[in-house]
Amino acid sequence: MASHRSGAHPALVLFALAMGGFAIGTTEFATMSLLPYFAPDLGIDAPTAGHVISAYALGVVVGAPLLAVVSARMGRRKLLIALMGLFALGNGLSAIAPDYHAMLLFRFISGLPHGAYFGIASLMAASQVSADRRTWAVSRVMLGLTVATIIGVPLADWLGQLAGWRWGFVTVSVLALTTALLIALFAPAQPAQEGASPLRELSALKRSQVWWTLMVGAIGFGGMFAVYTYLSSTLLNVTHVSPLIVPLYLGLFGLGMTIGNLVVPVFADRALMPTAAGVLIWSIVAMILFALVAGIAWAVALAVFLIGCGGALGTVLQTRLMDVAGDAQALAAALNHSAFNTANALGPLLAGIALAAGYDWPSVGWVGAALGGGGLLLWLGAVLDTRRKHGAEGDGVTCEAA
Chain centre distance of CA 115: 8
Q: What pLDDT score was predicted for residue 1? A: 38
| pLDDT surpasses 80 at 32 | no
Q: What pLDDT score was predicted for residue 70? A: 78
Q: What pLDDT score was predicted for residue 193? A: 64
| Average pLDDT, rounded, for the chain | 84
Give Cα separations from 65 to 55, 214, 293, 325 (angstroms). Answer: 16, 12, 40, 14
Q: What pLDDT score was predicted for residue 284? A: 97
Residue-wise DSSP of 242-278: -TTTHHHHHHHHHHHHHHHHHHHHHHHTT-HHHHHHH
Phi, psi of 397, rounded to the nearest 5 degrees: -120, -15
Alpha-carbon distance 140 to 9, whole Å?
A: 14
Q: Which of 43-52, 99-108, 191-200, 209-218 has the lowest mean pLDDT?
A: 191-200
Highest mean pLDDT among 201-205, 217-221, 246-250: 217-221
Alpha-carbon distance 261 to 315, whole Å?
A: 7
Can you identify the CATH homologous superfamily of domain 10-390? MFS general substrate transporter like domains (1.20.1250.20)
Q: What pLDDT score was predicted for residue 378? A: 95
CB 320 within 8 A of CB 339: no
Alpha-carbon distance 210 to 342, whole Å?
A: 15
| pLDDT surpasses 70 at 300 | yes
Could you report the per-residue pLDDT of 87-96, keeping only the tens digit for each? 999 999 998 8
Between 48 and 224, the more confident residue is 224
| pLDDT surpasses 60 at 33 | yes
Alpha-carbon distance 353 to 101, whole Å?
A: 21
| pLDDT surpasses 50 at 2 | no
Could you report the per-residue pLDDT of 337-355, keeping only the tens digit for each? 778 878 877 898 899 899 9
Q: What pLDDT score was predicted for residue 398? A: 43
CB 47 within 8 A of CB 230: no
The pLDDT-based confidence of 333 (bands split at 50, 70, 90) is confident
| pLDDT surpasses 80 at 86 | yes
Phi, psi of 175, rounded to the nearest 5 degrees: -60, -40
Dihedral, CA of residue 176, residue 305, residue 120 and residue 341, to nearest 10 = -90
Could you report the per-residue pLDDT of 149-158, keeping only the tens digit for each? 778 777 777 7
The ranges assigned to domains in the chain are 10-390
Count of helices and strands (H, E) across the chain: 18, 0
Residues with Cβ within 8 Å of residue 230, at least 6 apart in sequence: 46, 50, 348, 351, 355, 361, 364
Alpha-carbon distance 29 to 231, whole Å?
A: 11
Residue-wise DSSP of 150-180: IIIHHHHHHHHHHT-THHHHHHHHHHHHHHH
Q: What pLDDT score was predicted for residue 58? A: 84
The pLDDT-based confidence of 4 (bands split at 50, 70, 90) is very low
* Rg for the chain, CA atoms, rounded: 20
Mean pLDDT of 94-115: 90
| pLDDT surpasses 70 at 181 | yes
Alpha helices in 163-245 (DSSP H): 166-186, 198-202, 208-220, 222-229, 231-234
Q: Which of 135-139, 183-187, 293-297, 370-374 has the lowest mean pLDDT?
A: 135-139
Give Cα separations from 337 to 59, 114, 188 (angstroms). Answer: 11, 7, 23
CB 122 within 8 A of CB 141: yes
Mean pLDDT of 383-392: 77
The pLDDT-based confidence of 201 (bands split at 50, 70, 90) is low
Q: Which of 121, 132, 143 is nearest to 259 (CA)?
A: 143
Phi-psi region of 100 (alpha: psi -120 to 50; beta: other; left: phi over 0): alpha
| pLDDT surpasses 80 at 232 | yes
Q: Which of 218, 227, 248 is nearest to 340 (CA)?
A: 218
